[in-house]
C-alpha cells in the first residue's frame, strides 16, 4: 500500500505527496495535461517543442540546469500524445530548489526569438535524425494517419510535418503556453524522504501566486468506429521486411483496460508467450514479434508487429499472425497461461514501486486520470481478469474491419 497525502491549491494545482524514508533523496514530478492531441492539425509538434523550450530559461532563471546541478540534482522530461512530464531528483534537504525552478517555468518562460530559434533547430534535427534518416523511423508517420482519420492521434508526438515547427512563430508559442501550461492543468507530485506539511507549505509558497489560467476549450473530436479494413504498402532501404497490424481499443480508464493489457501479454510478453513460441522459435518466420497496447487517455491501439526473416513472404507472415489472433479469439486461454501473465505483471508492478521516482510519476498519472489512490487497486484489477474476459476482448478487437495493416518492405 502506497501512502498518499493530497491538497489542491486555490489556483487549481493538485499536489500529491508520498513519503519514502528509505532514500535520502526526493523526486519532484510535474505533469501537465497537454500532449500532441491538444494541437491544431496545421500546427503540430508544439507539445514536444515545449518540452525543449522549458529548458531554455524561464522569466527569472536564465539557466535551469546549473542551479539544480549545484545542489546535486538531475532532471529530464518526456512528451506523449496525452501528457508532458517534467521530473527532477535531488537530495531531500535541497527540495526547495526544485520548487523554485519548476514554479518559475510554470509562471512564464523566457520567450525570445533567440530561445525559440535554438530549440526549433534542436527539434528539427531530432525530427530528421529519428524519423526521416533512420531505418524504420517513418513508421509512426505512416501508421498513425492510417489508423486515425479524425482524432489528433493521427500524428505522432514529433508532429505531422517538419514545416510546422519551421514555421512556428513566437506568438504561436506564447498562445500554446498560456492555454495549456497552467496550475489548473497540472499535477505536482513529490516522493521521497519528505514531510507532507513541508511540501504543502513549499507548494503554496512557490506555486500559490501563479494565476489560474483559461485553458484551450477546443473539443477534441472522437474517432468514429472503423468499418473497413485498411492497408498501406511502402518500400524503403531497410535491412528486413516488417509488418504492423493495429486494432482500435478503448482508453486507459475503461474497465477492460486490464483485460486487453493481459491479452497482449499472453501473445508476446516474454520468450514463452504464444507468438514468440510459435512464430519465432517453432516456425522461424520472424526474428522478433511484439504485441502491445498504447494505453492512451482516449481510445487507443492494440499493435501487433513482426520483423520477417529472409525467405518469409509478407503473405505468409500475415497469415501466421492471423492464425494466432484467430486462435486466441476462438479458444479460452488456460488457467495456467492466464496466471503466468498475471504473476509477471504483478511482479513488475511491485518492482516499479521500489523507485521513488517511478512512484512520483505513477502517482501523478493516476491523479491526472482520476485519483492517485487508484494506484493501490492496480494489482487487484489485474487479478480480477478472467479467461472469458480475454476471449470476449479478443473477439471484439481482432476483427478485420477494425484493423489497419502496414506492409513495410525492404528494397535492398
What confidence tens digit (pLDDT) does each residue in 77-121 have?
Answer: 999 999 999 999 999 999 999 999 999 999 999 888 998 999 999
Same domain, residue pair 180 and 243: no
Structural domain contains residue 214: no
What confidence tens digit (pLDDT) does each residue in 134-144 have?
Answer: 999 999 999 99
Structural domain contains residue 223: no
- How much is the pLDDT for 252? 97
pTM of the model: 0.95
Kindly indicate the confidence band of residue 51, based on its pLDDT and cuts at 50, 70 and 90: confident
Same domain, residue pair 26 and 167: yes
Structural domain contains residue 153: yes
Structural domain contains residue 386: yes
- The chain-wide mean pLDDT, for the chain, equals 96
Q: CA separation (Å) from 157 to 62, 196, 322?
A: 27, 35, 30
Last residue of a domain, one of 141, 176, 207: 207
Same domain, residue pair 153 and 269: no
Same domain, residue pair 167 and 243: no
Structural domain contains residue 20: yes
Same domain, residue pair 13 and 140: yes
Same domain, residue pair 251 and 372: yes
Supply the DSSP string of 105-157, one letter for each residue.
Answer: HHH-B---HHHHHHHHHHHHHHHIIIIISSTTTTHHHHHHHHH-SSSGGGS-T
Residue 380, class by beta-carbon neighbours within 10 Å (0-12 exposed, 13-18 middle, 19+ buried)? Answer: exposed
Structural domain contains residue 249: yes
Same domain, residue pair 203 and 284: no
Task: Give which of 39, 161, 186 is closest to 103, Cα–Cα.
Answer: 186
CATH number at residue 389: 3.30.830.10
Structural domain contains residue 77: yes
Q: Work out how many domains the chain is built from and give that number.
A: 2
Question: Is pLDDT at 412 greater than 80 in this prediction?
Answer: no
Same domain, residue pair 49 and 90: yes
Same domain, residue pair 96 and 190: yes
Q: What is the DSSP letter of 304?
A: E
SS3 state of residue 340? helix
Same domain, residue pair 270 and 382: yes
What confidence tens digit (pLDDT) does each residue in 293-321 have?
Answer: 999 999 999 999 999 999 999 999 999 99
SS3 state of residue 79? strand
Structural domain contains residue 215: no
- How much is the pLDDT for 388? 98
Total length of the chain: 412
Residue 140 domain boundaries? 5-207
Kindly indicate the confidence band of residue 56, based on its pLDDT and cuts at 50, 70 and 90: confident
Amino acid at each position: 500500500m502506497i501512502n498518499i497525502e493530497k491538497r489542491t491549491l486555490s489556483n487549481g494545482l493538485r499536489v500529491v505527496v508520498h513519503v519514502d524514508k528509505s532514500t535520502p533523496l526526493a523526486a519532484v514530478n510535474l505533469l501537465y495535461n497537454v500532449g500532441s492531441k491538444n494541437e491544431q492539425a496545421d500546427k503540430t509538434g508544439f507539445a514536444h517543442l515545449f518540452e525543449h523550450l522549458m529548458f531554455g530559461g524561464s522569466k527569472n532563471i536564465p539557466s535551469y540546469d546549473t542551479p539544480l546541478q549545484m545542489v546535486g540534482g538531475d532532471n529530464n522530461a518526456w512528451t506523449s500524445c496525452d501528457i508532458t512530464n517534467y521530473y527532477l531528483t535531488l537530495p531531500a534537504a535541497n527540495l526547495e530548489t526544485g520548487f523554485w525552478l519548476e514554479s518559475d517555468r510554470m509562471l512564464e518562460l523566457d520567450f525570445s526569438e533567440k530561445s525559440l530559434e535554438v530549440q526549433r533547430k534542436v527539434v528539427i534535427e531530432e525530427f530528421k535524425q529519428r524519423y526521416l534518416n533512420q531505418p524504420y523511423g517513418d513508421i509512426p508517420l505512416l501508421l498513425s494517419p492510417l489508423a486515425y482519420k479524425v482524432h489528433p492521434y493521427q500524428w505522432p508526438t514529433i508532429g505531422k510535418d517538419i514545416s510546422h515547427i519551421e514555421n512556428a512563430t513566437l506568438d504561436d508559442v506564447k498562445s500554446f503556453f498560456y492555454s495549456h501550461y497552467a496550475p489548473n492543468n497540472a499535477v505536482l507530485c513529490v516522493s521521497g524522504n519528505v514531510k507532507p506539511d513541508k511540501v504543502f507549505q513549499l507548494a503554496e509558497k512557490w506555486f500559490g501566486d501563479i494565476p489560474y489560467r483559461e485553458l484551450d476549450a477546443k473539443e477534441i473530436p472522437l474517432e468514429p468506429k472503423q468499418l473497413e479494413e485498411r492497408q498501406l504498402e511502402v518500400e524503403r532501404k531497410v535491412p528486413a521486411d516488417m509488418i504492423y497490424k493495429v486494432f482500435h481499443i478503448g482508453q486507459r480508464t475503461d474497465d477492460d483496460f486490464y483485460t486487453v493489457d493481459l491479452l497482449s501479454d499472453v501473445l508476446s510478453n516474454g520468450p514463452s508467450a504464444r507468438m514468440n513460441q510459435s512464430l519465432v522459435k517453432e516456425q522461424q518466420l520472424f526474428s522478433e514479434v511484439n504485441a502491445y497496447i498504447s494505453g492512451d487517455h482516449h481510445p487507443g491501439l492494440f499493435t501487433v508487429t513482426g520483423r520477417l526473416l529472409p525467405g518469409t513472404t509478407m503473405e505468409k507472415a500475415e497469415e501466421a499472425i492471423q492464425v494466432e489472433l484467430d486462435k486466441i479469439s476462438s479458444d479460452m486461454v488456460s488457467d495456467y497461461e492466464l496466471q503466468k501473465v498475471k504473476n509477471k505483471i504483478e511482479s513488475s508492478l511491485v518492482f516499479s514501486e521500489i523507485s521513488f521516482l517511478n512512484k512520483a510519476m505513477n502517482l501523478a498519472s493516476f491523479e491526472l486520470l482520476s485519483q492517485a489512490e487508484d494506484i493501490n487497486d492496480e494489482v487487484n484489477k489485474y487479478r480480477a481478469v478472467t479467461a472469458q474476459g480475454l476471449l470476449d476482448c479478443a473477439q471484439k478487437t481482432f476483427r478485420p474491419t477494425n484493423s489497419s495493416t502496414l506492409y513495410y518492405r525492404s528494397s535492398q
